[in-house]
Amino acid sequence: MTELTNPKSPRVKAARRLTKRAFRDRDRAFLAEGPQAVREALALPGVTVELFATAEAETRHADIVGAAVSAGVPVFRASGEVMAELAQTVTPQGLMAVCRFVHVPLSSVGETRLVAVLAHVRDPGNAGTVLRTADAAGADAVVFTDASVDPYNGKCVRASAGSLFHLPVVTGLPVDKAVAALKDRGLRILAADGTGKATLDDVDLAAPTAWVFGNEAWGLPPEVLALADEVVRVPIYGRAESLNLATAAAVCLYASARVLRQI
């Protein structure tokens, strides 16, 4: 196993530059940090390009390193200084993989009964959490529209906790084109927004549905709300002013999932 000790070496610098979107787009590659993300990346054949592991992580996560070796993925033993250079967390967990992009065109996604659409979602932590929640709720796809955060942003990848590698992720579509394509598939479009006249208690969820979620601070703009078949708000029974995006998305997606699983 090759050992890397120089944070300024060409290989380390090539991986480090993937923290910037321009280089990710150019190389069509991104970083997956930590054992959970790396494990799930390795489960998809051909996705992991190379793996960096500290000596401690190599021992602690021998199963992950072994899976990489078995898959023919180059593994490099990284010094603490090298891992600190690559990591985007305060306390690195000692594993970092360079991965190929995994998003797919919407046309390649199979049957869709439940889809999450992120429109103007800018916070990567929220976006990754919505992706994780959609995965847990059994959604068939997540669409990151062109006005939303890059799903390969390091914080987004970490917040998805491996779910980025579990279900189809579509990127780069303008929200109107995404909605039109989903309507063509027979999905009803529900916009989750605090301005909705209908509440989640009122709406019939017994139909294939695409939920559209908006910006953390100001919700969905009028032109996006106009694309929806219905604008729905999550009812607030207590004194809280509102729910944050990720929590509201969890409530909506699970409400749909519960009904759809009974049909």
Judge if 62 and 122 occupy the same domain.
no
Q: What whole-number distance in Å separates Cα of residue 208 and Cα of residue 205? A: 8
Judge if 223 and 182 occupy the same domain.
yes
pLDDT recorded at residue 217 = 84
Judge if 66 and 110 occupy the same domain.
no
Tokens of 165: 């590698």
Residues of the chain whose pLDDT is less than 50? none
Q: What is the CATH number of the domain that holds 223?
A: 3.40.1280.10
Q: What whole-number distance in Å separates Cα of residue 37 and Cα of residue 163? A: 8
Please write down the HEC assignment for all residues of 161-201.
Answer: CCHHHCCCEEEEECHHHHHHHHHHCCCEEEEECCCCCEECC
- Expressed as residue numbers, the domain containing 201 is 106-260
Judge if 150 and 96 occupy the same domain.
no
Judge if 87 and 137 occupy the same domain.
no
pLDDT recorded at residue 90 = 86
pLDDT, one tens digit per residue, over 197-252 is: 999 999 999 999 999 999 988 889 999 999 999 999 999 999 998 899 999 999 99
Judge if 163 and 244 occupy the same domain.
yes
pLDDT recorded at residue 19 = 97
